[in-house]
Structures are given as C-alpha cells and as structure tokens.
Amino acid sequence: MFKAVLLEKNDAGFHAGVSQIDESRLPEGDVLVAVEYSTLNYKDALAITNTGPVVRNWPMVPGIDGAGTILESNHPDWRVGEGFILNGWGVGETHWGCLAERARLKGDWLVPLPAWFTTRQAMAIGTAGYTAMLSVMALQDHFARKGTKHDDGEVLVTGATGGVGSVAIALLAKMGYRVVASTGKASEADYLRTLGAQAVIDRAELGTPGKPLQKERWIGIVDCVGSHTLVNALAQTRYGGAVAACGLTQGGD
C-alpha cells in the first residue's frame, strides 16, 4: 500500500483526497518508482480543484512531475536504486502521477538525476524551471546558428515574475545576456533586478493590439504570456532573432 492524492469523478460528483492505494492498482509501465519529491504545478492545481480539463482519465493521481528512486525496472536503461526526474509526458493527466509515494512509469519518460542534484533540488527547479531551460536552450541553438553574440542586443522575458519567467531571467543573465523583464507587478522590479534583469518594463506596453511591424529591439524572447504580448514581441523582434513561446497566461487568442 502507498499514500497518494486521488481524484475521483463519478455519479456522486468530484472528490479529491489522500488515499491508501494498493500497488496492484498502478497503471502499466516498465519502471516502479519511489517518488521522493513532486511539485504543485499549475496543472495540478487545476486538476485538484476540478477547475480545468486537465484530467483525461478517472480516477487520477495528479502530479505532473517527480523525482525519486527506481524500485523495479524492466527497462534496459534503468537499474534499481538509480535516481530519476520526470517532467510531463501526460503524467497526472492521462497516466497516474507523482503526488504519490509510488508511481509506475515508462522508463523512456525519465531522465537520470544528475549526481550534483538532490531529488529535492530537482523538484525545486520543477517543470517551470525545466521549461525555462528548454526555452533558453532553444534561443542558444538559434544564436549559435546565426552567430549572434551576447552583447548584440537585449533579450526580453515576459511573465517575468512567474515560475518560468523568473528562472529564464536568472539563466539568461548568468549566461551574460542583457535581459529585459516585462511584468505587471511594478512592486517586484527590485526582485527582477536581483535575478539579473538589467531593465524592467510594464507589461501593459505589450499587452494591447499593436502594429504588425514595430521598432526592432529584441535579439531573443522567452514568452510565457502569448496573446497580444506575443504578437507585439514578435513585431519587435530583430531580423534573424528568435522567440521561444511556451505559455499563454494572457490568453490563447
């Protein structure tokens, strides 16, 4: 038996609670894992409060990410006792997730826990930090292909105080880029500068319909906001620049 958050929806309605579950109820997979840490991602919050169409199969154990240790493995790449990290792959949506002491997952979904991280640190970075790094790596790939240098111009990060945006700022600044943070929270400007932003702009500058071509400013953008913000940011992207768009907090329009 193991402890897990269990979400149920049936004739009696929706119910979320902590349950004792028998391991025989775990879904199919080629690795059984002990989950040591998970995060409370936005998707998990939607699932647990039944306020968004995140859960596709019922009942569901939420938890879209996790880190822990392999307990059993039928996968060629994974041995008992190894540390893993999982982000996404529909876990917590279509496949029982990591807000649980145990999970049965596909070995192909897991990445090895680097020796210099604890499972707790890996989940402190979480899927938000992972998304930020993927976005920054996408920009780096593009810059390398184009021969763009750190001091060629500014990189914009929208949704700056959020989970993805804040990590993206810290990563880009540490790598030596000139980062401009776009935020709706003027009171957080000092925090954003502490993370490494060289300038902070009001998100209202980007949030309403603008012209399709605007003054070129950004060599790169990590956009967490979508909607008009993404359209304006694209219109201000320098020729040969790149945008990593990973979010829709302003809207899906």
Ligand X SMILES: NC(=O)c1ccc[n+]([C@@H]2O[C@H](COP(=O)([O-])OP(=O)(O)OC[C@H]3O[C@@H](n4cnc5c(N)ncnc54)[C@H](OP(=O)(O)O)[C@@H]3O)[C@@H](O)[C@H]2O)c1
Check residue 128 for interaction with ligand X (CB under 6 A).
yes
DSSP per-residue string spanning 222-240: EESSBHHHHHHHHHTEEEE
Tell me whether residue 114 or residue 251 sits nearer to ligand X (CB atom): 251
161 forms part of the interface with ligand X (CB under 6 A): yes
E strands of 74-166, at which residues? 83-87, 102-105, 111-112, 154-158
Q: CB of 82: closest distance to ligand X in angstroms? A: 24
| Window 205 to 244, contacts with ligand X (CB under 6 A) | 207, 224-225, 229
Question: From CA 248, how far away is CA 215, in angstroms rounded?
Answer: 24
Say if residues 6 and 16 touch (Cβ distance below 8 Å). yes
Q: Which is nearer to ligand X, 20 or 121 (CB)?
A: 121
Q: Per rule CB under 6 A, is residue 29 in the interface with ligand X? A: no
Burial 51-81 (b: 16+ CB within 10 A, else e): eeebbeeeebbbbbbbbbebeebebeebeee
Q: Which stretch binds ligand X (CB under 6 A): 14-22, 116-124, 135-143, 161-169?
A: 161-169
Pick the stretch among 47-55, 95-103, 149-157, 181-189 that binds ligand X (CB under 6 A). 181-189
Determine, following the binding rule CB under 6 A, whether residue 160 of this chain makes contact with ligand X: yes
Applying CB under 6 A, does 104 fall inside the site for ligand X?
no
How many Cβ atoms are within 10 Å of 225's Cβ, its own excluded? 26
Q: Which of 167, 205, 228 has its CA nearest to residue 179?
A: 167
Q: How many chain residues bind ligand X (CB under 6 A)?
A: 25
The one among 30, 34, 42, 217 contacting ligand X by CB under 6 A: 42
- The site map against ligand X for 62-101 (x = CB under 6 A) is ----------------------------------------
Is residue 189 within the footprint of ligand X (CB under 6 A)?
A: no
Q: Which is nearer to ligand X, 68 or 159 (CB)?
A: 159
The interaxial angle of helices 163-174 and 119-146, nearest 10 deg, is 60
**Binding of residue 203 to ligand X (CB under 6 A):** yes
Residue nearest to ligand X (CB): 162
Distance of CA 188 to the CA centre of its chain: 21
Q: Rounded to 5 degrees, what are φ and ψ at 19? A: -125, 155
Residues making contact with ligand X (CB under 6 A) = 41-42, 127-128, 131, 159-165, 183-185, 203, 207, 224-225, 229, 246-250
